[in-house]
Structure 1
Amino acid sequence: MCILKRLQVQPSISINDLCRELGVSKSTVQRDLKKLEDDGRLARERGGATQTNFEETLSDLTEVPVLEKFEVNIEEKKRICEVAAAEIRDGDMVFLDSGTTPVHILPFLNEKKIKVVTNSYFLLSRLTLDLGDIYMLGGMYNPKYETCYGPSSIEQLKEFRIDKAFIGANGVDLEKNEVYSSEFDIGAWTMA
């Protein structure tokens, strides 16, 4: 599959994924991405590439601010979180990602004695339960999503031994066994 066709299916992709899918070296992918960017056919981003017309062609995948989507599909989010919370045991160290779905797991953790690691100020500001220790990752702050991400967040996350992680996504392709993020920087951080 060529790079441009791949970007029609998914609005962004990492260099590592392209190397694996195309069976070529990192330098080959980087050269191809540079040429395609010079031709105006894609935008290179740190560690990958994105569609240049992403906003126009896939506007239904464009992420809205976290406060605008908190009430969207709320019953479905609660059902997902109830099932997810059943997997958490006392003593677990749990990573709760940014986004609106992980916030809905909080009421189901009421009786559990766990440690929580998060990069989400949105989640942290709604955490009223006495769960145990809570760790907030720092890094580059994005007010649109009320989250921190980036290299310093990744380094901080490496300090923890996470037992369970609940990570939000914008889409899932079960046939390709892939999870999608509409924002390259956020998606790249989550994959680290």
Structure 2
Amino acid sequence: MKTLPHIRKQEILNTLRLRGSIDVQELARTFGVTYMTIHRDLQALEKEGLISRVYGGAVAAPEKEKAKSARKEAARPGYSPAGEEKRFIAKAAAAQVQDGDIIALDGSNCALQMCPLLHEKSITVVTNGLNIALQFADSDSVQVLLTGGLLRHRDMSLVSIRNPDLLEHINIGKCFFSATALSAQKGVMEQSYEESEAKRELLRRSEQLYLLADHTRLGGTAPYVDCACQQLYAVVTDRYAGSTAEMTACLRGVLKVGVRVIYGTL
């Protein structure tokens, strides 16, 4: 399945931050699009000063160019840095957690930013993220259960859960997780099969599902389905002044099937 351009570009930037370089052929296979489509994406990102194209792919842009691009973007009306958006989402999500709760957190950036806000609560956290578990290493009030599995070095998460019995014997009240894309019709979707498989185990044992999705995830598509939209309890997202028609339609569709929408604020 093809992904929307804004989602592809964000994933390309995420990969560059982790690896430093990317290959056009690999990107075309990953996203299921033509080489020309990837070339257009890279052209647009280079024009914004975010990457530098090289033969067969691209590398991260020099820091001077990225700073110049960041200043230009910050001057745009309605602009909010991605990190800031995720912090707003994390704050709104953490407010849903009460003492005594058993919650699940995936290894996503949004879930990671929830951790400092939960550090003093008396809760149990079930997670497939080593990065998440380590955040509570010095907490006297948070009990952590790791699902076990194969370590995915890219984001320090555990996939292909090797201890399903752990989840069979625990009732998780609230699950907070992110995904590649959300569609009211197609559901919550993931780019990686392994990650989707690991998340489905957490979702299956959870009573209330909270999807942490910034505006770039709304209205997109990806190959693997985590769950149907109707299974969600709430979507926690940011307010974005430049929302596209697809983003707006996605949230309307979510509300139509009875899912709550919670907006992150300062």
TM range (shorter): 0.5 to 0.7
* Alpha-carbon separation, structure 1, partners of 2:141 and 2:86: 21
Q: How many residues align?
A: 134
Q: CA deviation at 1:56?
A: 5.8
Report if the CA contact (8 A) 1:121-1:146 is conserved. yes
Matched, 1:82 2:91: yes
Tell me which amino acid in the other structure corresponds to 1:171.
A
Q: Show structure 1 runs of 4+ deviating over 4 A.
A: none
Q: Which residue of 1 aligns with 2:139?
A: 129
Query: Which of 86, 94, 103 is the aligned partner of 2:103?
Result: 94
TM (norm. structure 2) is 0.45
* Alpha-carbon separation, structure 1, partners of 2:96 and 2:180: 22
Tell me which amino acid in the other structure corresponds to 1:170.
T
Q: CA deviation at 1:187?
A: 1.1
Q: CA deviation at 1:181?
A: 1.0
Counterparts of 1:10-159 in structure 2 under 5 Å?
53-55=29-31, 57=33, 73-127=82-136, 128-159=138-169
Deviations 1:96-123 (A, max 9, x none): 1112110100122133210111110111
Q: CA deviation at 1:163?
A: 0.9
Q: Gaps spanning 5+ residues in structure 1: where?
A: 1-6, 11-51, 61-71
CA shift in 2, pair 1:76/1:154, >3 Å: farther
Q: Which residue of 2 aligns with 1:160?
A: 170
Deviations 1:142-165 (A, max 9, x none): 112211121424443222110111
* Alpha-carbon separation, structure 1, partners of 2:163 and 2:108: 16
* Alpha-carbon separation, structure 1, partners of 2:144 and 2:161: 21
- Percent identity between matched residues is 23
Q: CA deviation at 1:188?
A: 2.3
* Alpha-carbon separation, structure 1, partners of 2:161 and 2:144: 21
Matched, 1:185 2:233: no
* Alpha-carbon separation, structure 2, partners of 1:177 and 1:131: 39
TM (norm. structure 1) is 0.60
* Alpha-carbon separation, structure 2, partners of 1:87 and 1:155: 27
Report if the CA contact (8 A) 1:150-1:189 is conserved. yes
CA shift in 2, pair 1:9/1:73, >3 Å: closer
Report if the CA contact (8 A) 1:109-1:131 is conserved. no
SS of match in other structure, 1:94 = strand
Q: CA deviation at 1:170?
A: 1.4
* C-alpha RMSD of matched pairs (Å): 2.7
* Alpha-carbon separation, structure 2, partners of 1:87 and 1:177: 26
Report if the CA contact (8 A) 1:154-1:189 is conserved. no
* Alpha-carbon separation, structure 2, partners of 1:167 and 1:185: 15
SS of match in other structure, 1:169 = coil
CA shift in 2, pair 1:126/1:132, >3 Å: closer
